[in-house]
Amino acid sequence: MMRIARYAPRYAVRSAPCRGPIGYCVKPSRPRLARSLLIAMITSISACTVVGPDYQRPANRLPERYTIEHKLDGARSVDPELGRWWSAYRDPHLNGLVEDALAHNGDIQIAVARVQEADALAREVGAALLPAVNLAGSAGRGRARNIAAPGGSYLANMLQLSALSTYEIDFWGRLARASEAARAQAMASREAADVVRLTVAGLVAQAWFGLRALDEQAKLATETLQARDEQLRLLTLRVDAGAAPVLELEQARGARADASLQLTELERQRALAQTLLGRLTGQPGLSFTPARSSEWLSQMPIPPEPPAGLPSALLDRRPDLRQAEQQLIAANAQIGVARAAMLPSIALTGSLGAQSLALGSLLDDGARIWSLGFGLSLPIFDGGRLQARTDQAIARERQALASYQSAAQSAFREVSDALIASDSARRQQADIAIRASAAHRALELARLRHEAGYSAYLEVLDAQRSLNAAQQEIVRNRLARLSASVDLFKALSGGWSDPGGATSVSATVNKDSTTREPQ
């Protein structure tokens, strides 16, 4: 591929006189040769060849569509302001927590600083394509000996002011490839920051749903504990009156202790979830009052599920995949940088200024000095070092390619796993509700049988444990459905839409709350 350089120096750039076999200095008495040399250099730039392979996107080996079979509940579309997928849950508390996390989370701030660093590095590398111009000046006074008059000496001033410039002709595209790699790395850092934002938002949502689930579970455990306390009180009276055996009293005490242990464990987990939210939002010490019944997890709407045959092309929106691709682009460009280092490099050098023995005559026409030249560097023998560097660059490009393909496969798996988890939790919901209803009826029958003397008190305790487990499972099922929806939003980078127009993800949500059987 041929490229035409966009920049050509107006003059060459080095202040020191050219010495050695590489440099060629243009003397003031030969300006035509200098102009001819400059024209030759500029003409050669127009024939610059950029070495190294041009980037070509790897073929996608993923299936075109996801084939997870599931039924849809209610609305079939979701597109919650892409980038603000958490708004689909219609929870102002969650919205506020995510916004706080995006503004104050330490991991996000680190990622943003890395983006700024990468941008600055890309500007630095890109600046190598332009000439560098510096202004230099010197002044001195000293005693010199006059050789023509033995024994004679004199004091002299030496003043010099010059503009110095250096410019490497990017004959093989080494600087262009380096700039391409730096820009790709800068883009990769931006995508990495988006990955951190998406991850933090997902963690906040998961922690918030977990906190609300623990509030509901703790409420259920509190109700169970209160019921056990009342049963223990009544059994104590009956045992004292000789109407019930001591065995039932001890069984009631053990059941009451189990309920108390369950409540203590739920309170511990809630405290940890609250601490995690404070860490994620950058607000240590953050605390929440227990949720009211209208704020329980069972009352939270669940976003609609995607349609069957969701296109896998949606994965192109994932920031981690775009990050992996940008890193592949950078690694591909570094091959050209390594190969260009094995070829000759040409640099223009020059200076323009004035030199005088007195300050008053420094700007006179006769005080002007200038030089123009070029340098050529060609590696002859390095023991295979440059070839080894090229091989290293090729190996790194292969690693980046494998990482990109692996990231695509992992992304496809994450979406599939989220779809499977969502569909499984949705199908389990009906059976869990039936289980809770049956456990409630079984408890009522067990109480009637015990009061009539047909069964032992242990049967009542078993029925209570079954009902408590079923009620807790209802909450866990709702949490599983919401967690799966969060995983799906993250896996699809915030929503989904069918390129064919059949489906889009909007802020419409399903509110299929599951009723809880009273104890």
Q: Report the pLDDT value the prediction gives residue 23, as an integer from 0 to 100.
A: 34
Q: Report the pLDDT value the prediction gives residue 515, as an integer from 0 to 100.
A: 36
Query: What's the predicted TM-score (pTM) here?
Result: 0.77
> Percentage of residues in the chain with pLDDT exceeding 90?
34
Lowest mean pLDDT among 86-100, 214-228, 385-399, 484-498: 484-498
User: Of 40 and 361, which is predicted with more confidence?
Assistant: 361
| Average pLDDT of the segment spanning 107-120 | 93
Kindly report the backbone phi and psi dihedral angles of residue 133, in degrees, each rounded to the nearest multiple of 5, phi listed first.
-120, 130
In a domain, 364, yes or no: no
What's 449's domain CATH number?
1.20.1600.10
Statement: residue 275 has pLDDT above 80 = yes
Q: Report the pLDDT value the prediction gives residue 111, as an integer from 0 to 100.
A: 93
What letter would DSSP give residue 359? Answer: G
Rounded mean pLDDT of the chain?
A: 79
Which domain covers residue 420, as residue numbers? 63-131+170-343+385-491
Residue 202 binned pLDDT confidence (cut-offs 50, 70, 90): very high
Most confident of 191-200, 297-306, 308-317: 191-200
Q: Residue 88 has which token pair?
A: 């689909």
In a domain, 348, yes or no: no
Q: Which residue's entry shows tokens 């950029």?
A: 50
In a domain, 76, yes or no: yes
Statement: residue 280 has pLDDT above 70 = yes
Lowest mean pLDDT among 54-68, 212-226, 347-361, 504-518: 504-518
| Average pLDDT of the segment spanning 47-57 | 79
Question: What value, to the nearest 5°, has the Cα angle with vertex 362 and ends 360 and 363?
Answer: 100
| Average pLDDT of the segment spanning 74-103 | 75
| Average pLDDT of the segment spanning 286-299 | 76
Closest residue by Cα to residue 131 from 352, 427, 285 = 352
In a domain, 146, yes or no: no
Count of structural domains, the chain: 1
- What is the Cα–Cα distance from 283 to 177, expressed in whole angstroms? 44
Neighbours of 491 (CB within 10 A): 24
In a domain, 40, yes or no: no
**CA-CA-CA-CA dihedral for 458, 462, 463, 468, to nearest 10:** 140
In a domain, 120, yes or no: yes
| Average pLDDT of the segment spanning 458-475 | 89
Q: Report the pLDDT value the prediction gives residue 309, as an integer from 0 to 100.
A: 61
> Percentage of residues in the chain with pLDDT exceeding 70?
76
Q: Report the pLDDT value the prediction gives residue 511, as an integer from 0 to 100.
A: 39
Contact (Cβ atoms closer than 8 angstroms) between residue 9 and residue 163: no
In a domain, 246, yes or no: yes
Statement: residue 310 has pLDDT above 80 = no
Residue 72 binned pLDDT confidence (cut-offs 50, 70, 90): very low
In a domain, 440, yes or no: yes
User: Of 11 and 71, which is predicted with more confidence?
Assistant: 71
Q: Report the pLDDT value the prediction gives residue 349, as an integer from 0 to 100.
A: 85
Q: Report the pLDDT value the prediction gives residue 67, as an integer from 0 to 100.
A: 58
Contact (Cβ atoms closer than 8 angstroms) between residue 347 and residue 169: yes
